[in-house]
Structure 1
C-alpha cells in the first residue's frame, strides 16, 4: 500500500515519511532489535500471545508489526494459525520477512493501521504491541476503528502498551511519561475509552510496573457478537 497519509504521524527525528519508522529514523534500524531486547520486549510479547489464546485455523493480524518479532513469536506459538504482519515501513518489513524465512502461513504486508487493506470481518485476532502511544489521538481512534472493522463478531483485539494507571511511584520513566504529550492519551482509562468508542467491549487484563518502560498495561477488546 503506497498511498500517502500526510496526517498519519508527524515527521519524526528528521525523517521525511508519513509514518514513524520502526527505530525512529531509517539510519537507526540496524539497532532496533537490540534495543527491543534491552527494553524487555520479548517477555511482553510472550505474555500478549498467551493472552490472545491463539488456535489452529485462526487468521491473526498484527498492526504496526515493525521488524516482525511479535508476529513471528505468535506463529511459533501456534503454527496452525495464519499470521499477517502489517506496517507502513518497507525497510522494517524486509527484516521481518527474513526472520520468517522457512515458516509457512506467515506473511508481511505494507499498510497503515488507520486504513487497513483488508475486507470487513476478516480476522479472529488483532495484535498491537507498543504502537499506539506513537500515534496522535485522531489516528489512534481511526486505527482502533479499523481493528474493529476487520475483526469477526466475537473476535478480539489484544494490546500491550505503555500507560494505564501510571503514578509517580512507578519510577523515573513513569514520571516522565506523565509529562509526555505523546503518551497522554494512553494514561488512566484513555485506551479503554477509545476502545469503547470504536465499538468494543474493553477490559484491562493486567498492568505492571516495568523497570525500563515505567508502566505497561495489557488490554483485551472484544467485538460484540
Structure 2
C-alpha cells in the first residue's frame, strides 16, 4: 500500500527547479563529492545498498558503474525525480530499483541492507524526522552494516554567527553524529570534509548498525 503523500523538500528545493538539477550537478562537479562518498562506503560485489533521498539517482548511477554486481535501491518522495532516475538508469543499462517512499518509513525488511547512503538529504528533514529516519536506517541495516552521510556543513564561517541558509543553522557534523547516536547507531565518526564553489562546505559522517 502506498503511503499518503505528505510535504517534503525536493532535490533542488522547489519542484519546478528539477530540470536544473543536471546542469547544476555538472557546473558544481557534484559527481566528485558523490565519488568521495562512495570511496568511503566501500561497497563490494553482492552487497545490498540503499540510498535514502536518492533524487534523480546520480549517486546510485555512479555506484552501478563502479560495482555492477551490487543490488541497488533508491527511495525518494518525489515522483518526478524518480521518473528522471529511472530514465537515466535505463539509458545506461543499469538495474536499479527506485521506489516512492519516505526516509522515516523505509519499505524494506529488518536486517536487509549492507550499506545506506545519504547525500545532501538529511538537512531537508526536521529534527524529529531526522532521528526517525536514522532509526529506520538502523532497523534495515544488517549487523555490522554501515550508513554513510555527506551533507552541507552548517558550521558558521569565522566571524559569522549565521549561515546563509536557515535550514543549515546548527546542522554541523557534530550534530549529525549526535543524531546518529540518539537513533541507536554506533561507531559514529566524522571521516572527512571538503568545500566546493556554490555547494560550499560539506562533511562526511559514518556509523555502524
1:114-137 per-residue CA deviation (whole Å, 9 max, x = no partner) reads 111111111000000001111111
Q: TM-score, structure 1 length as denominator? A: 0.85
Cα pair 2:153 2:203 within 8 Å, conserved: yes
- Distance in 2 (alpha carbons) for counterparts of 1:176 and 1:30: 33
In structure 1, runs of 5+ residues without a counterpart are 7-17
- Distance in 2 (alpha carbons) for counterparts of 1:24 and 1:32: 10
- Distance in 1 (alpha carbons) for counterparts of 2:59 and 2:164: 29
Q: TM-score, structure 2 length as denominator? A: 0.91
Cα pair 2:61 2:94 within 8 Å, conserved: no
1:184 equivalent in structure 2: 169
1:121 equivalent in structure 2: 111
2:182 aligned with 1:197, yes or no?
yes
Cα pair 2:8 2:77 within 8 Å, conserved: yes
2:2 aligned with 1:2, yes or no?
yes
Aligned length: 207
2:83 aligned with 1:94, yes or no?
yes
Change (3 A) 1:44 1:113: same
1:107 equivalent in structure 2: 97
Q: Specify the SS of the correspondent of 2:55.
A: coil
Cα pair 2:54 2:75 within 8 Å, conserved: yes
Q: CA deviation at 1:19?
A: 1.7
Cα pair 2:3 2:101 within 8 Å, conserved: no
1:24 equivalent in structure 2: 13
Cα pair 1:133 1:185 within 8 Å, conserved: no
Point out the more displaced range, 176-185 or 112-121: 176-185
Q: CA RMSD in A?
A: 2.0
- Distance in 1 (alpha carbons) for counterparts of 2:136 and 2:12: 24
1:83-107 per-residue CA deviation (whole Å, 9 max, x = no partner) reads 0111011111001001111534421
